[in-house]
Amino acid sequence: MSDDNPGADVIVIGAGLSGLVAATLLLERGRSVVLLEAADRPGGRIQSLVDPETGDVLGDLGPTWVWPSYQPVVGQWLERLGLHTFPQYETGNTALDYGPSTPVQFQPVPGQHGIARIAGGPTALVDALVAQLPDGILRTGHAVTAVRADEAGVRVEASGAVFSAAQVVVATPLRVAETSINWSPALPDALAHALRATPTWMSVHAKALVVYPDAFWREAGLSGRIASPAGPLAEAHDISGEDATPAAIFGFVGWPHDMRAANRDGLNGEIIDQLVRCFGEPAARPTQIHVEDWAANRFICTPYDLAEPMTHPDVGPEILRQSGADGRIVFAAAETSDVSPGLIEGALAAGMRAARQLSDSRV
């Protein structure tokens, strides 16, 4: 292996939202940075389905919502990047679906106060941050396999290359970092335990996105929301664009991962059948349907996640936010945040905190 980057101040592992924020702020503070991403695209759990002909974002396959009224960090970054939000569409009745043998019930259901969507989707955050990076900073297709720290600095092995730096930001899901990276010296037992104990938000989710020529459900007085104990969508929402185009419904697949895997060929048909039950015959004619199963993504989900019930992470122990290896290594996944862990705001805050820590502790 050759040393591909002998002079960087910081290596950021993971080009999801937290890693991009950390890299952006470190560059602003005069640090040289290399940003390594295992996947073939930046964004991590933020991903959109894009129309290949028009480039329009058809809907989100990862996180969707922000709450600017309650999330000042989100507001700060939206303003900085020149982005805006619009309210989640919730006008009209919700479909309560108990399965094919029971008539669907329709009734108003209160929405979430302050819930909003970013124009262009959360991918707009990623795109705006990536656009500001100097050429050569971001390297996709570089899955990190080893991190070796000593008095001389840190060496990071990724896809057959070796990168050297003074410090490292680890912005991958915590369980992925603990299980897939060879750490030398080994991580302290308390830190390794905390990484393993922190669930990765959304890692066992599957999200379905169904695109239509128009938002026909709105004309029928429906909000596009579904609540269902029967499934396959446990809940669904209108994810149409700001002016109702592109028109789409997204939903969280309620089936567990093993059931999804066993019924992969029939899942799309089951979803369309449910949408027809809830919204009528026009729902039988989508232009696209896509199911993103995050549990099948090895850069997001680990056996630890699959072995547990799906839970949202609480604010984790302080050890997740402390620098290690004499100030050389900082963890910055969204789940390390002490505000909105796992959410978009948590990712932004974690990246900011990591950049601040490394800026304050040059080694």
Per the CB < 8 A criterion, the answer to whether 184 and 328 are in contact is no
Burial track 147-180 (b if 16+ CB lie within 10 A, e otherwise): bbbeeebbbbbbeeebbbbbbbbbbbbbbbbbeb
Residue 312 has what DSSP assignment? P
Q: What is the pLDDT of residue 229?
A: 95
Whether 7 has a pLDDT exceeding 80, the answer reads no
Per the CB < 8 A criterion, the answer to whether 203 and 300 are in contact is yes
> What's the CA gap between 60 and 49, in Å, rounded?
6
User: Do residue 230 and residue 292 come from a single domain?
Assistant: yes
How many domains, the chain?
2
Last residue of a domain, one of 244, 274, 299: 299
Percentage above 70 pLDDT, the chain? 97
User: Do residue 138 and residue 281 come from a single domain?
Assistant: no
In a domain, 62, yes or no: no
In a domain, 307, yes or no: no
pLDDT by residue (tens digit) across 157-204? 999 999 999 999 999 999 999 999 999 999 999 999 999 999 999 999
What mean pLDDT value characterizes the chain?
94
Quote the domain boundaries for residue 347: 1-46+122-197+312-363
Whether 6 has a pLDDT exceeding 60, the answer reads no
Residue 338 has what DSSP assignment? S
pLDDT by residue (tens digit) across 261-319? 999 889 999 999 999 999 999 999 999 999 999 999 999 999 999 998 878 889 999 99
pTM greater than 0.85 (yes/no)? yes
User: Do residue 133 and residue 99 come from a single domain?
Assistant: no
Tokens of 68: 């600017």
User: Do residue 38 and residue 52 come from a single domain?
Assistant: no
pLDDT by residue (tens digit) across 41-59? 999 999 999 988 888 899 9
Q: What is the pLDDT of residue 13?
A: 98
